[in-house]
Amino acid sequence: MTVTWQNLADGFSLGAIYALMAVGVGLVFGVLRLVNFAYGQLVMAGAFALALASQWGWPLWAGIVLCFAVVLVLSLFMDRLVFRPLRGHSPAVMLVATFAVAFLLENIALLSFGSLGKIASSVSSLNQPWDIGGVNIRKIAVVAVVVAAACLILLQLLLTRTEIGLHMRASSMDFFTARMLGVRANRVIAVAVLISGVFAAIVAVLLTVQSPLVTPDFALEDTIVVLAGVVVGGLNRPIPATLGGFSLGFAIGVLGGALPTTQSQYLPTFIFAAVIVVLLVRPRGLFDFSKTVERV
């Protein structure tokens, strides 16, 4: 196995994308205790928006605006129609419910656009290679890493420097107490869902550039890996969750390119076996070093 610079760049860019998705999933989990299996379908909806915009001949910026609009509206609908009625149920019930929503959205896409999918050709200009010191790196790899880093820094600032950020952190520590102290539940949840939607839209753009063929199961496999990554990293805190998502994305990105096909086809087996091992050894997450103990 030889790891090239391109493999590393792919690893970093996939890791960055998965880190964004992990934050999106983790933010909603923080305030709602809900693992959103349908997160990938938000990305899929955004990708279809891009593909349709490019089919209608819209300029790239208009496509991206449409993508954000579709994903954000869908996120708010999901919150209002599904998450809110389910508030307070056990995490397992909510996971099954979002599983249902995921299949629902996938089948709506199947009904509307067919199983062959659509091609978003207008975004392909971002997929050209750059020549950096004799090494060809795809532009999108750099863009993905830069965008992800910027988003994560902005989010960290929002969480630590603003009032709504304080409310969100308080809610994810103890929602009940936070509400008693005057945190407005619906507002905090709506903001978390919106930010999570913004991240989904960004991921939709980045993923569509990398693979312009948008099908109804777009981002489904990615979501499964990200959910595993988030749980592996530690669901309760945004930074461990991000690191979990990043590490799985990085591992898949590097190994998927570097291993020969006969071995890389078994990559999911190794990744998910590693996930199981981590869950057994550190059930609260690989990167969660806080010292709280479950009490009876």
Contact residues for other proteins, defined by CB under 8 A = 35, 82, 85-86, 89-93, 95-97, 99-101, 103-104, 106-108, 110-111, 115, 220, 224, 227-228, 231, 235, 265-266, 268-269, 272-273, 275-276, 279-280, 283, 296
* Shortest separation between residue 126's beta carbon and other proteins, angstroms: 31
Nearer to other proteins, 212 or 285 (CB): 285
Alpha helices in 128-258 (DSSP H): 139-161, 163-173, 175-180, 185-210, 220-233, 238-258
C-alpha separations of 242 from 75, 232, 233, 247 in Å: 20, 10, 7, 9
* Nearest-approach distance from CB 227 to other proteins, in angstroms: 6
Shortest gap between Cβ of 212 and other proteins (angstroms)?
Answer: 23
Give the three-class secondary structure for 177. helix
CB 202 within 8 A of CB 13: no
With respect to other proteins, which residue has the nearer C-beta, 160 or 265?
265
Backbone phi, psi, residue 137, to 5°: -120, 130
Which CB sits closer to other proteins, 95 or 126?
95
> C-beta of 290: minimal distance to other proteins in Å?
16
In whole angstroms, the minimum distance from the beta carbon of 295 to other proteins comes to 10
Q: Is 63 or 244 the residue whose CB approaches other proteins more closely?
A: 244
Calculate the CA 88 to chain-centre distance. 24
C-beta closer to other proteins: residue 2 or 269: 269
Residue type, 65: V
Say which residues have a Cβ less than 8 Å from residue 12's Cβ, sequence separation at least 6: 141, 144, 145, 250, 253
